[in-house]
Structure 1
């Protein structure tokens, strides 16, 4: 019992001595540890529009016949005519690509007869890429007159998109810095340094034009005039969230 009392007494004296000889905490240091650095978080946005310089046309042929080989042969003849028609307008072979090639049975269903085989449908879709945007409407017209009965749409893009996205990001950073300086000035503070940055989004909004195949089917006749196709503009945008330290 006596030994335990002595041990407890020595431990208490040791703690008291450590507290006595510990260096004092400076008041400024104590305040600094209690108060976190003042920060300001803003979101900067950058956006610019560019005129597209590339068009991709998606169109093709769908043929329904009683046998698979008849559907395949009909499709082959039609797609060859389409390719020849657009090549006659200056499109090179490497600008034409097959994107869909399908042959499948097609069925019909009725309450009286149930499921019945209608025939076999062969489908071939081509994508045609061109930088001559003024030819897009005439290319579509030539393809439809050559036998195309499916038009999936036209998409427009810009070749140097990476550079334009970089420019949009720079605009976003400048916007964030300007906002921070404005807000800090109104609050009687000053922007000191950047604490953190995050890129929230960065992308491009592609303009897309579409038309229904039935609306452009020639029914064996020639089109009176090409349907106008407008490329519009492509928007490039970026946003950054920046946290600044204030002084």
Structure 2
């Protein structure tokens, strides 16, 4: 057994040193010119195609039970109006349900008096056809909605726009590198590295709801900017 172990040790020590190094060595990128790091941004604009609105019902009644019952009845009409307008269930989400006492301050400076209860039920609704959002909001008010907040406007599928911004960012980076190269009496060679940072999908922005009364509500979507920032390393030769 001892002779077998010694033979194994001899066999391992006989491995060429170069082979052992070849298993762990990493390729090293070398340059012969000057390294130039450029940060550039590409930006595109799109018209938002999604509007998100919070809408709901606030009811008051002498008792908590009555306030909730009245609220539920009005919210059923509001939800039915949304479905009749073609809003899918996946675009309707409950965001708040609240019940709290309603007090009246005693004019003589005494303790506040409980006069009833206030119930609130709120849903967040996504409208995929902004042109019809105003008409739907008017219909909601007609069916009992007495609380509307928003809209928040966003872009549903920004991937293609972001890819366009990436191409612009890279073109801007190369144009800036060409400028530096000419000033230094060199020329732009290969790209050494590209990293993306910042920019990306913009958060929802508030739009404008004009003339909030029946049969007149209008939403102006405007435009949103999408940007991508790149750090690009060039070799100047």
CA contact (8 A) 1:39 1:246 kept: yes
Q: Count how many residue pairs are aligned between Structure 1 and Structure 2.
A: 204
Which residue is equivalent to 2:3? none
1:86 aligns with 2:77: no
Which residue is equivalent to 1:144? 141
Q: For residues 1-247 of structure 1, what are the structure 2 equivalents within 5 Å? A: 38-107=34-103, 112-205=109-202, 206-209=204-207, 216=212, 223=214, 225-247=215-237
SS at match of 2:222: coil
Give per-residue Cα distances to partners, 1:43-74, cap 9 Å, x unaligned: 21111112222222221111222221111011
In the superposition, the TM-score normalised over structure 1's length comes to 0.72
Which residue is equivalent to 2:16? none
Which residue is equivalent to 1:15? none
CA distance in 2, matches of 1:94, 1:160: 17
In the superposition, the TM-score normalised over structure 2's length comes to 0.74
Q: Which sections of structure 1, spanning at least 5 residues, go unmatched?
A: 1-35
* CA deviation after TM superposition for structure 1 residue 116, in Å: 4.0
146-155 or 202-211, larger mean C-alpha shift:
202-211
CA distance in 2, matches of 1:241, 1:160: 25
RMSD over aligned CA atoms reads 2.6
CA distance in 2, matches of 1:109, 1:197: 65
Which residue is equivalent to 1:20? none
Q: Which sections of structure 2, spanning at least 5 residues, go unmatched?
A: 1-31
CA contact (8 A) 1:105 1:120 kept: yes
Q: Which runs of 4+ in 1 moved over 6 A?
A: none
CA contact (8 A) 1:54 1:130 kept: yes
* CA deviation after TM superposition for structure 1 residue 118, in Å: 4.3
